[in-house]
Amino acid sequence: MAGKVLIVDDEKAIVKGLKYSIEQDGLETDAAYDGEEALELARTNAYDLILLDLMLPKIDGMEVCRQIRSFSDVPIIFLTAKGTDMDKIMGFESGADDYITKPFNILEVKARIKVFMRRGKKKEAPKPVNPGIVENGEFRFDIDNRRLYIQGREINLTAKEFDILELLVTHPGKVYSRDQLKEMVWGKEYTGDARTVDVHVRRLREKVEETPGAPKYVQTKWGVGYFYKG
């Protein structure tokens, strides 16, 4: 498995342990010990994944995540001692793709990394000559180039937001439950809470819907799941 991971944590012992374990799987790693250093590295390097602690000196992890999302859709996994539902929701709202609570099992961390790496490699498959375009009024979804435009304005989506929307858009009218979306977007190996899906869908609606409370595109079939209305 090839790729490059940025590890961000102010506890050097944790960084050392993560670097050793991750590099055993053939991945390259960089390390940052505060928020400012993390942002500088994220802006100047191409990473396949970022492991990001929440409690950081200078700039906290959530703000780091928000700023990274302004220029990159790199997968971000929070590593933090905070584990309440509200902390998780706030993490996802800031743009995180996954969440692991400290103290963590390094095997779980490595398993989550592998899930994201495999999905990332699939996205690198050769593109067809004619890119797939889905248009619905002012909604224009360029699947192969991973771009979304609404009223001619490009909408910045995270990797997971795009993956959810791609699945729904390419199967219009088909209803997917939270568990189905979790398995198909995050992978069978993902052990996180299915409520993660709800947070990502809500955040997606806030970006693509004129009125998120009355969605036009990403709709809910109550008691069943979510679907795209073409």
Higher pLDDT among residues 136 and 12, named by residue: 12
Mean pLDDT of 62-86: 84
Mean pLDDT of 127-143: 73
Q: Which two tokens stand for residue 143?
A: 């699947």
Mean pLDDT of 29-55: 94
CATH of domain 4-122: 3.40.50.2300
Mean pLDDT of 193-221: 90
What CATH topology corresponds to 133-228? Arc Repressor Mutant, subunit A (1.10.10)
Q: Residue 1: which pLDDT band, with cuts at 50, 70 and 90? A: low
Average pLDDT over the chain reads 86
- pLDDT over 90, % of the chain: 47
pLDDT value for 128: 40
Q: Residue 129: which pLDDT band, with cuts at 50, 70 and 90? A: very low
Q: What is the DSSP string of 142-191?
A: ETTTTEEEETTEEE---HHHHHHHHHHHTSTT--B-HHHHIIIII-TT--
Per domain, the residue ranges of the chain are 4-122, 133-228
